């Protein structure tokens, strides 16, 4: 019997454990560890914050869900991992042994990097977690009673900019719907080198479509901007300029989970895990990583440092590849290892319209001579597409599916995106 553990029950962890359940024999022990009692579709939290959806509509109660699928569940936070003894320690001291572990812990948030940043002890809002969204929703309701300057953006080092653009433009649309837009100034402040960069350079039409949309909506923008301090009503930039606000949503930079930050032989200084092309740890063959937990360097040397986006589409592709590779390494599946391509589709809802950003790939591999084809498309259909995607994703999570063949086929037909490809480097087949 093989013991396989997945740490994290988010956009990477839950698809990974679903995929593993379909690949591993029933005699293998499959365990999911998470300190959250519910799965949450994180991209839906913007709509929750703005009062356009309920939190319950984008959540799944994990206990009955996992029990139905025959997956063990440990509802505690991981406090330690020992790669030498292959053990995981959770709160209250319980120890779990593993033959393979997939780390899908998502991010911890560097709110402490800027004085006054964040919803807990700071003065800005966030849409990164359900708790953040609830807090931001309460502040939004109060803000609507007496609206004033609205500032949205991202902190230096941030890598995920899509939610900031979505929040900004969906808030603009909501204020217009309520007849309040003429009482509000909207400002976008970002470390990106230009509007529409979103952490990935050279995406055809992305700069033009995104910047034109912000101009049409009368939104002032600050690029190459470094936020240094935040008070209850002002954001200060490194240039000394101050931006007044009545409501502000600023995305933080990310770090890895706390227990990973304490494991220098497993993760880097920020708590991100170095992996080989199959997303197996470079030094510990029993450890795999996916999603935000993976160490991916930003190739662009921008004036203000930014991270590389690890989108939901990328995370799910990593989850599928990691599950496959664990099944191959354990002997449950006879097939070549797979490498995630990091080809990504991001559907961004911008009020009455939207933009789909397609990056093929997000992070080119210089050792592989592969065609690159990154582009953006704009239209009302993107909003409908995102709504359909959210509905479909929640349905397949409730059914316990990973990424079915027809979904992979659809991505290839619609966007020319392949989520994973065979990887047959011989040294990988000799370690397990």
Task: Give CA–CA dist 247/233, Å, rounded.
Answer: 8
Name the packing angle between helices 162-177 and 206-216 (round to 10°). Answer: 30
Coil vs helix vs strand at 168? helix
Number of Cβ within a 10 Å radius of residue 287: 21
Spatial neighbors of 205 by CB under 8 A, at least 6 apart, are 375, 376, 377, 378
Task: Give CA–CA dist 183/177, Å, rounded.
Answer: 13
- In order of 5, 272, 276, 372, 374, the CA distances from 342 in angstroms are 24, 17, 13, 12, 12
Q: What's phi and psi for 187, nearest 5 deg?
A: -135, 140
Task: Give CA–CA dist 166/153, Å, rounded.
Answer: 10
DSSP 281-325: BSS-TTEEE-GGGB--------SS-------HHHHHHHHHHHHHH
The closest of 9, 20, 4 to 321, measured between CA atoms, is 20
Point out the catalytic residue in the list 230, 313, 346, 382: 346
DSSP 368-414: S------EEEESHHHHHHHHHHHHHHHHHHHHT----HHHHHHHHHH
Q: Give the dihedral sign, CA 34/36/40/45.
A: negative
Task: Give CA–CA dist 231/123, Å, rounded.
Answer: 7
The span from the first CA to the last CA of the chain, in angstroms, equals 15
Name all contacts of 404-412 with Cβ < 8 Å and 24+ positions apart. Answer: 411/345
DSSP β-bridge partners for residue 281: 275
- In order of 89, 128, 331, 412, the CA distances from 286 in angstroms are 16, 30, 13, 31
Sheet strands side by side (includes 242-244)? 227-231, 234-237, 242-244
The closest of 195, 199, 191 to 310, measured between CA atoms, is 199
Point out the catalytic residue in the list 107, 133, 160, 273: 160
Q: Give the dihedral sign, CA 383/389/392/397.
A: negative
Active site residue 346: yes
Judge contact between 328 and 337, C-beta under 8 A. yes
Catalytic residue annotation? 160, 346
């Amino acid at each position: 019997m093989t013991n396989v553990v997945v740490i994290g029950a988010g956009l990477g962890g839950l698809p990974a454990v679903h995929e593993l359940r379909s690949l591993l024999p029933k005699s293998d022990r499959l365990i999911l560890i998470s300190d959250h009692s519910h799965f949450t579709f994180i991209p839906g939290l913007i709509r929750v914050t703005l009062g356009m959806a309920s939190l319950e509509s984008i959540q799944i109660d994990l206990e009955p869900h996992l029990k139905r699928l025959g997956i063990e569940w440990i509802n505690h936070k991981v406090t330690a991992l020992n790669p030498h003894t292959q053990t995981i320690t959770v709160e209250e001291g319980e120890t779990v042994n593993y033959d393979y572990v997939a780390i899908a812990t998502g991010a911890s948030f560097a709110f402490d990097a800027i004085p006054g940043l964040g919803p807990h002890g700071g003065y800005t809002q966030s849409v990164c977690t359900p708790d953040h969204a609830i807090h931001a929703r309460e502040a939004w309701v109060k803000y609507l009673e007496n609206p004033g300057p609205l500032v949205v953006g991202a902190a230096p080092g941030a890598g995920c900019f899509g939610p900031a653009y979505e929040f900004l433009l969906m808030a603009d649309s909501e204020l217009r719907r309520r007849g309040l837009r003429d009482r509000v100034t909207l400002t976008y402040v970002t470390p990106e080198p230009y509007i529409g960069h979103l952490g990935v350079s050279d995406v055809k039409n992305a700069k033009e479509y995104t910047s034109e949309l912000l101009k049409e909506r009368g939104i002032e923008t600050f690029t190459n901007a470094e936020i240094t301090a935040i008070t209850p009503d002002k954001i200060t930039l490194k240039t000394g300029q101050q931006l007044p606000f009545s409501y502000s949503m600023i995305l933080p930079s990310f770090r890895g989970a706390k227990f990973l930050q304490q494991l220098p032989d497993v993760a880097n200084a920020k708590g991100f895990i170095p992996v080989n092309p199959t997303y197996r740890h470079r030094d510990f063959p029993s450890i795999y990583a996916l999603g935000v937990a993976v160490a991916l360097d930003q190739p662009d040397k921008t004036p203000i440092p930014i991270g590389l986006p690890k989108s939901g589409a990328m995370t799910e592709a990593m989850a599928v590849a990691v599950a496959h590779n664990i099944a191959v390494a354990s002997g449950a599946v006879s097939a070549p290892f797979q490498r995630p391509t990091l080809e990504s589709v991001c559907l961004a809802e911008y009020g009455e319209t939207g933009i789909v950003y397609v990056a093929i790939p997000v992070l080119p591999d210089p050792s592989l001579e592969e065609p690159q084809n990154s582009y953006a498309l704009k239209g009302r259909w993107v909003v409908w597409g995102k709504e359909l995607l959210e509905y479909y994703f929640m349905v397949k999570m409730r059914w316990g599916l990973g990424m079915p063949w027809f979904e992979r086929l659809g991505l290839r037909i619609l966007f020319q995106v392949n989520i994973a490809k065979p990887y047959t480097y011989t040294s990988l087949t000799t370690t397990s």
